[in-house]
Amino acid sequence: MIYSYKNMLWCKSVPLKLFSFKTASLTGMTIFGAALIASPNISSAQAVPELLETLLVSGERTSVPVPGGQLLIKTREDFAIGARIDPAELLQVIPGVQVDSRTNYAQDTRISLRGFGARSAFGVRGIDLQVDAIPMSTPDGQGQLGSVMLDNIGSAQVLRGPIAVLYGNGAGGVIALQTAVPESSRLGIGLNGGDPGLARQTLNGEWRNENLALRAQFGNSIIDGERPHSRAERQQAGVQFFYATANGVDVILKHDYSDDPLLQDPLGLTPEQWREDPWQLNAAAELFDTRKIVGHQQTSITVRDNTGATRWQTGLWQGERDIEQYLGFAGDAIASSGGVVDLARDFSGASGTITHSLEFFNLPTEISVGAELAQMQDHRRGYVNDFGTAGDLRRDETGDVQSRDIYSLLHLKPVEKLTLYAGARAMNLDIDVVDSFIVTGNPDDSGARDYRESSYAFGANYLLNPAWELFVGSGRGYETPTLTEMAYKSNATGLNTELEAAINHQQQWGISYRPDDTRELTITQFIIDTDNEIVVDQSLNGRTSYRNAAATERDGIELFGRYDIHPTLRMQLSLQSLDAIYSAGQWSGNQLPGVAGEQYQLGVQWRPFANDSLQLDLNAQQRSRIYTADNNQVYAPGFHTFDIGAQGTYPLKSLHFDWWLKLANLADENYVGSVIVNQANGRAFEPALGRNFTAGIKLTHAF
In contact, 408 and 24? CB cutoff 8 Å: yes
- Beta strands per DSSP E along 4-94: 71-75
Please list the residues that pair with 450 across neighbouring strands.
Answer: 430
In contact, 634 and 611? CB cutoff 8 Å: no
Q: What pLDDT was estimated at residue 3? A: 35
Task: Characterize the bridge pairing of strands 340-360 and 363-385.
Answer: antiparallel
> H-helix or E-strand containing 455?
strand 447-463
- Tell me 29's DSSP state: H
CB atoms < 10 A from the CB of 84, how many? 23
Task: Characterize the bridge pairing of strands 212-223 and 198-209.
Answer: antiparallel
d(CA 264, CA 281): 12
Q: What pLDDT was estimated at residue 76? A: 87
Q: Which residues of the chain fall short of a pLDDT of 50?
A: 1-66
Helix, strand, coil in percent for the chain, rounding step 5: 5, 55, 35
In contact, 353 and 391? CB cutoff 8 Å: no
d(CA 56, CA 521): 27
The DSSP annotation for 30-55 comes to HHTT--------B------HHHHHHH
Assign domain 2-702 to a CATH class. Answer: mainly beta
Rounded to two decimals, the pTM is 0.88
Domain segments of the chain as ranges = 2-702
d(CA 213, CA 210): 8
d(CA 351, CA 299): 14
Task: Characterize the bridge pairing of strands 128-131 and 174-179.
Answer: parallel
Q: What pLDDT was estimated at residue 521? A: 95
Alpha helices by DSSP H, listed for 319-446, are: none
d(CA 159, CA 170): 10
- Centroid of chain to Cα 68: 21
> H-helix or E-strand containing 655?
strand 655-664
Helices (H) and strands (E) in the chain, counts: 4, 36
Distances (CA, A) of 24 to 47, 194, 205: 22, 44, 36
Collapsing DSSP to helix, strand or coil, 423 comes out as strand
Distances (CA, A) of 334 to 384, 442, 539: 9, 6, 15
Q: What pLDDT was estimated at residue 542? A: 61
The DSSP annotation for 528-585 comes to EEEEEEEEEEEEETTEEEEEEEEEEEEEEEEEEEEEEEETTEEEEEEEEEEEEEEEEE
Residues 6 or more apart whose Cβ sits within 8 Å of residue 215: 152, 182, 204, 205, 206, 207, 238, 239, 240
Distances (CA, A) of 379 to 142, 342, 365, 472: 16, 8, 47, 45
Distances (CA, A) of 65 to 260, 414, 460, 532, 649: 42, 13, 11, 35, 37
Backbone angles phi, psi at 66, to 5 degrees: -75, 145
Q: Label residues 250-281 b or e (16+ Cβ within 10 Å = b).
A: bebbbbbbbbbeebbbbbbbbbebbeeebbeb
Task: Characterize the bridge pairing of strands 639-652 and 615-623.
Answer: antiparallel
CB atoms < 10 A from the CB of 631, how many? 12
d(CA 370, CA 408): 6
